[in-house]
Homo-oligomer: A and B are copies of this chain.
């Protein structure tokens, strides 16, 4: 191994933070990763596995003998097992669940009732709870025990276990012992429903200014909380997913996933894009006769397709962000379309003019200039319309616009570009 990889190994072993070690392990090729893993202290291993992406984590779990896994999962906390659940083979998951204590097992089973997309799956049970007749002195007694991270409120429940109020811990200190806690309750305190979208719930926590918000089930029963640490992780994973989705990949993709696995993951995306490329080719094929006579058209085709693709991706990206922030609705959709078409028209005219001049001079034909100018203008306008409509339609169909938006868009701009350019060429140049 090179001196640099030794540096990474030393960094791994010296680092204190599970997250740092997880990132460093992920950055190693698989054999080196396995080697480094052997040197990681037993008592840090579970924390590190929980922090890792699922694909690289799997690469490590695969190398561990069953006895080691058993000791690793002995008395595992529900929230840790939830993180690991999707990578563990069913057999191992079963063993881990059976080795849990009763309380954690019930938390785990509750969490598994919810899908990965909703808040209920990511509940933390470390809450400070008091009944609604509790007084300041009860709160002070509660606060004397070790507090969990990210706690700034005590939650108050009624007899049925339903969430009723939240009391800022800082308000408790200044108050006399006998004051009922409900007198110190926060106004307008947000509550998360367990069936709420996880990213929306995380955003709610981040905006609240509080360190955690209560999560309630149907009927308002207090189930636990979502703290700002988990909220940050959820939103960050969401953004990473969006970035990876734009290339047809998954957030879990390992930097060093095994070659066959990685090839398979990516092949599907290449196949889908191949179909759209063949479709574009088929449209070009309709104009074979024209291309044979005016070969300049073949030379300039990429310019028409590229300008449409780029203009469209700008509109698309703006709309995808707007959809993610809930900023696109029936009220502003038409106004947005109008604005994007106006921007497209202006840029279309400017660039059509520039491209026309270059093409006319290059091929010594004014008519080539006219043909490409009209095609560019048409394609940029089509790109603007497609950039607004495609993500909105995909979103209505519950498809992720970040994943499939760009494929559909470039299919549209390729076909419109080629047909407009070669069609006009056939009409005006032959």
Residues of chain B contacted by A347 (CB below 8 angstroms): 263, 266-267, 270
CA distance A300 to B282 in the complex (A): 9
Q: Mark interface residues in A278-310 (1 if CB within 8 Å of B CB, else 0).
A: 101100110010011001001111110111001
Residues of chain B contacted by A177 (CB below 8 angstroms): none
Chain B min CB distance to A414 (Å): 7
Q: Does A114 contact B (CB under 8 A)?
A: no
Are B255 and A336 touching (Cβ within 8 A)? Answer: yes
Q: Does A322 contact B (CB under 8 A)?
A: yes
Chain B min CB distance to A44 (Å): 14
Q: Mark interface residues in A246-261 (1 if CB within 8 Å of B CB, else 0).
A: 1111000101100110
Among B24, B240, B280, contact of A302 (Cβ-Cβ < 8 Å): B280
Among B23, B263, B277, B299, contact of A307 (Cβ-Cβ < 8 Å): B277
Q: How many residues of A contact B (CB 8 A)?
A: 118
Residues of chain B contacted by A302 (CB below 8 angstroms): 277, 280-281, 284, 301, 305, 414, 418
Among B5, B307, B346, contact of A332 (Cβ-Cβ < 8 Å): B5
* A243 and B240 in contact, given A28-B332, A229-B228, A346-B263 (Cβ under 8 angstroms): no
Are A327 and B23 touching (Cβ within 8 A)? Answer: yes
Q: Does A389 contact B (CB under 8 A)?
A: no
Are B273 and A325 touching (Cβ within 8 A)? Answer: no
Residues of chain B contacted by A188 (CB below 8 angstroms): 16
Q: Which single residue of chain B is at the shortest CB-CB distance from A247?
A: B317
Q: Which single residue of chain B is at the shortest CB-CB distance from A208?
A: B17
Residues of chain B contacted by A242 (CB below 8 angstroms): 239, 243
Which of A76-84, A157-165, A351-359, A391-399 lines the interface with chain B? A351-359
Chain B min CB distance to A311 (Å): 6
Are B325 and A23 touching (Cβ within 8 A)? Answer: yes
Which of A87-95, A139-147, A214-222 lines the interface with chain B? A139-147
Among B209, B326, B358, contact of A278 (Cβ-Cβ < 8 Å): B358
Q: Does A8 contact B (CB under 8 A)?
A: yes
CA distance A228 to B274 in the complex (A): 45
Q: Mark interface residues in A201-233 (1 if CB within 8 Å of B CB, else 0).
A: 000001101110000000000000000110111
Residues of chain B contacted by A271 (CB below 8 angstroms): 351
CA distance A316 to B303 in the complex (A): 23
Q: Mark interface residues in A106-150 (1 if CB within 8 Å of B CB, else 0).
A: 000000000000000000000000000000000010011111011
Residues of chain B contacted by A267 (CB below 8 angstroms): 347, 350-351
* A170 and B143 in contact, given A4-B329, A27-B332, A274-B351 (Cβ under 8 angstroms): yes
Are A243 and B321 touching (Cβ within 8 A)? Answer: yes
CA distance A195 to B358 in the complex (A): 48
Q: Mark interface residues in A180-206 (1 if CB within 8 Å of B CB, else 0).
A: 000000001000000000000000001
Are A313 and B247 touching (Cβ within 8 A)? Answer: yes
* A303 and B322 in contact, given A259-B343, A273-B310 (Cβ under 8 angstroms): no
Other A-B pairs beyond A27-B328, A244-B318, A247-B313, 8, CB < 8 Å: A144-B174, A239-B239, A246-B313, A266-B347, A271-B351, A277-B302, A277-B307, A281-B303
- Give 6 A-B contacts (CB < 8 Å), ordered by A residue: A23-B327, A27-B328, A266-B347, A277-B302, A278-B358, A302-B305
> Lowest 9 CB-CB distances: which A-B pairs, in order?
A4-B331, A239-B239, A147-B170, A298-B298, A27-B327, A247-B317, A277-B306, A5-B331, A263-B346
A interface, CB within 8 angstroms of B = 2, 4-5, 7-8, 16-17, 19-20, 23-24, 26-29, 140, 143-147, 149-152, 168, 170, 173-174, 188, 206-207, 209-211, 228-229, 231-233, 235-236, 239-240, 242-244, 246-249, 253, 255-256, 259-260, 262-263, 266-267, 269-271, 273-274, 276-278, 280-281, 284-285, 288, 291-292, 295, 298-303, 305-307, 310-311, 313-314, 316-318, 320-322, 325-332, 335-336, 339, 342-343, 346-347, 350-351, 354-355, 358, 362, 414, 418
